[in-house]
Structure 1
Amino acid sequence: MNEQPPGGASPPSGPQQPPWQQGPPPGPPPQKRRWPWVLLGCGIAALLVVILAVACTGAFFSAMTAPPEENPGASDTTEGGGDEEGAKTSVGLGEPVDLGQWRVTVDSVETQTAYEGTSPQGEFAVVRLNVENIGTEATYFDSSAVSLVDADGNSHSSATTGSDDSLFLEQINPGNESPGEVVFDIPEGTEVTAVEVEDMMSPDGPVTIEVD
């Protein structure tokens, strides 16, 4: 008659290994290494940044060193060329020329030994001109905007006079025009070749009026 183990449990079937022959318990499954892919992604991102920086630098230097484009519609204005009168920068006596809000016409340049009872250091050159406001707002025309150029290339500034015909801070409303005179004290015997008018408030100019 077979004896039952205490507690009524059935004995284990088959041969049993002693505890010292049993292997260690299985550990957790090995994790896949992800750091090579992280490094590869960082390397690709850095390469893209370098390529973008090189491309931007090349585009910048190309734009800085590229020759300026020629304007096919530009005309030679040194000889009074141009399809429109206002595009001229060099005209003759009696010809109007536009400069900013002004339309200026120089009628004559004459020399005098005296002006309004005043004697010059050399001789007076009197420029007679007409100024029209072709803009939309009132503007001031001053004789300081006019200068004389002689045969040696020297530029002469206007003199201040108290004459009623002097264009000194003359306010002109839109559509109006004002004739007047600008007086210069120049060395005696100076050959005047041109009158220049410049509007400091306009990006255009100066314009040149050739004197025959």
Structure 2
Amino acid sequence: MTYQPPQYPPAQPVQGVPGQVQWGAPPPAPKKKRWPWIVAGVLLAGVLGCVGLFTLVLGGTAKVVGDAAGEMDANRKGENAVAGKVGTAATDGKFQFTVTKLKCGVDRVGPAEFGEKAQGEFCLLDVTVKNVGASAEVFSDMSQYAYDAAGGEYQVDSGAGTWANKDHSTFLESLNPGNTVKGKLVFDVPEGTKLTSVVLHESMYTAGIRVPLAG
């Protein structure tokens, strides 16, 4: 048998080093790993998508809240109210209102030893409230506002109202369907103020009824 020497690949010059060689082919350059960049891109896209969705939802929520607040403000001012008349019943939501009398120039309500004294003068508005709905509802005097000729707005003085009404709780009890209560809404206004209208509501979410007054 004839001896066969091992076969080696031809020598390759070493790049950049004159006169130096290396045996065999140079090892291939390592491939760059691209998966971390792909993962980072997917994560970034997800984050940006979430931010965009959050911004959209937040903006939509802010608009809804702003619209609701604007609507309630318009309701309070009577901008959406229907016209009413003293002595005539008119309905807002579950309640039917009848304004019967207005008396101003009252300096005190309740007994002398207790009661409450007006900062200016009290205007007492006699109102009948009937529940014309199908379920019980509480009438709140805090949703009722009076106005003068210049557009001045006056909220009910609930503390004085407890003294002006004999049972002290006329407008705080739950009113069942078909039931009626009568009581006085009390407004503390500057002396000499002439109230020209009152806006009555079932609640702050209803349009209300504007009743002209001959105060």
Matched, 1:135 2:129: no
Asked if the contact 2:145–2:154 (Cα under 8 Å) also holds between the matched residues in 1, the reply is: yes
User: Are the equivalent residues in 2 in contact too, given 1:198–1:206 (CA < 8 A)?
Assistant: yes
Task: Name the CA shift for 1:166/1:127 in 2 (closer, same or farther; >3 Å).
Answer: farther
Cα distance change of structure 1 residues 201 and 90 upon mapping to structure 2, 3 Å threshold: same
Give the share of equivalent positions with the same residue, in percent. 30
Residue 102 (str. 1) matches residue 100 (str. 2):
no
Q: CA deviation at 1:209?
A: 0.6
- Give, as a single letter, the amino acid of the residue that structure 2 aligns with 1:103: Q
Q: 1:183 to 1:194 in 2, by over 3 A?
A: same
- The one-character-per-residue Cα deviations of 1:19-52 (angstroms, maximum 9, x if unpaired) are xxxxxxxxxxxxxxxxxxxxxxxxxxxxxxxxxx
Deviation of 1:100 after TM superposition, in Å, equals 0.4
How many Å separate the matches in 2 of 1:160 and 1:210?
A: 22
Conservation of the 8 A alpha-carbon contact between 1:143 and 1:167: no
Q: Which amino acid aligns with 2:175?
A: I
Mapped partners of 2:135, 2:204: distance in 1: 13
CA distance in 1, matches of 2:169, 2:86: 19
Gaps of 5+ in 1: 1-87
Tell me if structure 1 keeps the 8 A contact 2:143–2:204.
no
Q: Secondary structure at the match of 1:144?
A: helix
In the alignment, what sits opposite 2:85? 92
After superposition, the C-alpha distances for 1:90-126 in whole angstroms (9 at most, x for unaligned) are 1221111100000001111111121113210000011
For 1:182, the equivalent position in structure 2 comes to: 185
Partner of 1:151: 149
Counterpart code for 1:108? K
Contact 1:142 1:170 (C-alpha < 8 Å) held by counterparts: no
- Among candidates 197, 206, 212, match of residue 210 of structure 1: 212
CA distance in 1: counterparts of 2:107 and 2:181, whole angstroms: 26
The two structures, once aligned, show a CA RMSD in angstroms of: 1.7
Equivalent in 101, 104, 115 of residue 109 of structure 2:
115
C-alpha displacement at 1:201, in angstroms?
6.2
Matched pairs, number: 124
TM-score with structure 1 setting the length: 0.55
Write the distance in 1 (CA, Å) between the matches of 2:204 and 2:194.
30
Instruction: Check conservation: 2:201, 2:208, Cα contact below 8 A.
Output: yes
Q: Distance in 1 between matches of 2:118 and 2:204?
A: 31
- 1:126 aligned residue (105, 110, 124): 124
Give the aligned partner of residue 82 of structure 1.
none
Describe how 1:74-85 pairs up with structure 2 within 5 A: none
Which residue is 2:174 aligned to? Answer: 171
- Higher relative helix content: 2
1:199 is matched with 202
- Flag the structure with larger Rg: 1
